Amino acid sequence: MGHHHPAALQRGTELLARAAQVPPAVISDSSLLDLHLGQWYLAWLGNRLENSSTPAAAGSKIDQAWVDKCCQVARHRAVSQQCGMAASSRLHSNVSAEVRRLLGRSELVQDELVIEDCLVVDIALPRLHVLIEVDGSSHFITRLRGAAVEATASKDQHLELCGASKFKRRLLQRLGWQVRSVEWHTWQRLGSNAQRSQHLRQLLASVGA
């Protein structure tokens, strides 16, 4: 969904529209997995946001009942996945508490805000239109490199945000949000509240927090 040729975007739109011809009545757990329905909706949303030059072609052929069904499934999956592991929950709580200490009571801070019915974000600052995603280890993949690079690079340098997280951020940015990231390995290295507060202050400096 990046800088694609218009013909490729149009082809994607046509495939989405063709898929939507399946009558909603046949959708069931036995015929289509929730995973596929949720992914279909995210693909449709991405196509809608990034192919705005031809909105009529993108939307006119798609059965709204199908879109609504897939949106419902995508929301359920997103909320369920957001619960995550206990360690991730503790990390989120720690970062959220530090954000509140830094910004004070005058700034509204919302946890697990749902955007576009299916994008659940960790921490939102609505007035500033800023999101803070708390990225645990499950959000990353390890890049494979040659032996020479392996010998000189640290473990953290091999990490890269996974495709699903990158795609989610791109959608959020298309929706007008500024996205900031707090990575678990960075947070762990900050040994005091003062260091963590300074780290957050630097993250938010460009938005005037």
From 43-52, 86-95, 105-114, 176-185, the region with the lowest mean pLDDT? 86-95
Given a cut of 80, is residue 208 above it in pLDDT?
no
Tell me the domain boundaries of the chain: 6-81, 84-207
Given a cut of 90, is residue 174 above it in pLDDT?
yes
Q: Pick 116 or 29 by higher pLDDT.
A: 116
Tens digits of per-residue pLDDT, 114-132? 999 899 999 999 999 999 9
Res 78: pLDDT: 85
Q: Which residues contact 155 (CB under 8 A, 6 or more apart)?
A: none
Instruction: Give the C-alpha separation, 177 to 154, whole Å.
Output: 32
Given a cut of 90, is residue 103 above it in pLDDT?
yes
Res 148: pLDDT: 47
Instruction: Give the C-alpha separation, 177 to 121, whole Å.
Output: 11
- Provide the whole-model pTM: 0.74
Given a cut of 70, is residue 19 above it in pLDDT?
no
Question: How many CB atoms sit inside 10 A of residue 167's CB?
Answer: 16
Res 1: pLDDT: 45
SS3 83: helix
Instruction: Give the C-alpha separation, 127 to 24, whole Å.
Output: 39
Count of residues making up the chain? 209
Residue 141 β-bridge partners = 160
Instruction: Give the C-alpha separation, 76 to 11, whole Å.
Output: 29
Name the band, by pLDDT with cuts 50, 70 and 90, for residue 183: very high
Res 16: pLDDT: 57
Residue 78 β-bridge partners = none
Maximum mean pLDDT: which of 15-19, 77-81, 160-164: 160-164
Q: Pick 144 or 103 by higher pLDDT.
A: 103
Res 202: pLDDT: 94
Name the band, by pLDDT with cuts 50, 70 and 90, for residue 141: confident
Q: What is the mean pLDDT of residues 152-158?
A: 59
Instruction: Give the C-alpha separation, 62 to 45, whole Å.
Output: 12
Look at the block and give the residue holding tokens 């780290």. 199
Instruction: Give the C-alpha separation, 204 to 190, whole Å.
Output: 17
| CATH top class, domain 84-207 | alpha beta
Tens digits of per-residue pLDDT, 38-51? 888 999 999 888 88
Helix locations, the chain, DSSP H: 6-19, 34-50, 55-59, 64-83, 86-103, 147-152, 163-174, 184-189, 193-204
Whose CA is closest to 117, among 151, 79, 86? 79
Q: Pick 7 or 105 by higher pLDDT.
A: 105
Res 79: pLDDT: 80
Res 89: pLDDT: 82
Q: Between the CA of residue 63 and those of 23, 34, 70, 72, 82, what are the distances in Å?
A: 8, 18, 11, 15, 29
Instruction: Give the C-alpha separation, 19 to 69, whole Å.
Output: 13
